[in-house]
Structure 1
Amino acid sequence: MKYSVTCTTKHSTYERITHIGCVTDTGLYQRFTEDEAINRIRSGDEFHVTGGGYTAKVIIAEHEGRPYLKTERDGIRPDNLLALKHCEEAPKPVVPPTRTVPAHSHSV
């Protein structure tokens, strides 16, 4: 599947991505942890960032033995992922209240 990354959530202390928000090629919004996105890339899914007239592919890099997400070099600074807006919390679906209706007796 192909995903267009539209936002990120970063660690509160470090400038490291913890989650990415994406729109699928079918228009569905999904949010993944960094590890989930890395596993999806490894299994063949594609992620990209579009901005300023350019599209950059999201790839897996490694720092001190730990994999992380970044975009391929495209000459734009800062990194395309780090420059994306912060992901807002996804709205929780509203579940209508349920009402219990007693069953009628089957006896005559």
Structure 2
Amino acid sequence: MADVAYISCINKDPRYDAYNRITHVGGVGAERWKITTDDAISHIENGAWEFWTKPPVGHGQKVIVAQRNGRKYLKTVADYDTPDNLLSLPECP
């Protein structure tokens, strides 16, 4: 069974491509954590971790791996095509 982590912040590149813009995701569990999106994708694909968003208000959404133009990226189930829910999270320190 996969461990669960809640993403409450992101870091992004100042480019406009929503699919390749997020570079890191992070949150707070027993301590503050932050990993690259490539590491998060690897953890999801190998079944070690399951990630959910932890927005300031509203309901969290499950984070999944998607692919566009041969490039894997993170998005929430509710986003259909683009990673908008993740992009709306605040920047990680």
Q: Which TM-score band (shorter chain)?
A: 0.7 to 0.9
Cα distance between partner residues in 1 of 2:79 and 2:61: 7
Q: Is the 8 A contact 1:56 1:74 kept in 2?
A: no
Match runs of 1:26-37 below 5 Å = 27-37=30-40
> Residue 46 of structure 2 corresponds to which residue in structure 1?
43
Q: Which digits, 9 at most, give the CA deviation of each residue in 1:74-102, with x for residues without a partner?
A: 69xx82210000111xxxxxxxxxxxxxx
Runs of 4+ in 1 over 3 A off after TM superposition: none
TM-score by length of 1: 0.69
> Residue 81 of structure 1 corresponds to which residue in structure 2?
86
Cα distance between partner residues in 2 of 1:12 and 1:50: 23
What is the one-letter code of the residue matched to 1:50? K
- Is the aligned partner of 1:54 residue 2:59? yes
Cα distance between partner residues in 2 of 1:34 and 1:74: 17
TM-score by length of 2: 0.79
Structure 1 residue corresponding to 2:73, chosen from 61, 68, 86: 68
Say which one has the larger Rg: 1
Aligned-residue CA RMSD (Å)? 1.9
Cα distance between partner residues in 2 of 1:28 and 1:55: 20
Question: How many percent of aligned residue pairs carry the same amino acid?
Answer: 43
Structure 2: where are the runs of 5+ without partners? none
> Residue 4 of structure 1 corresponds to which residue in structure 2?
6
What is the CA distance between 1:11 and its match in structure 2?
1.1
Q: Which digits, 9 at most, give the CA deviation of each residue in 1:52-89, with x for residues without a partner?
A: 331200000101011000111169xx82210000111x
Which of the two has greater helix per residue?
A: 2
What is the CA distance between 1:29 and its match in structure 2?
1.8
Q: Which has the higher contact order (CA 8 A, sep 6+)?
A: 2
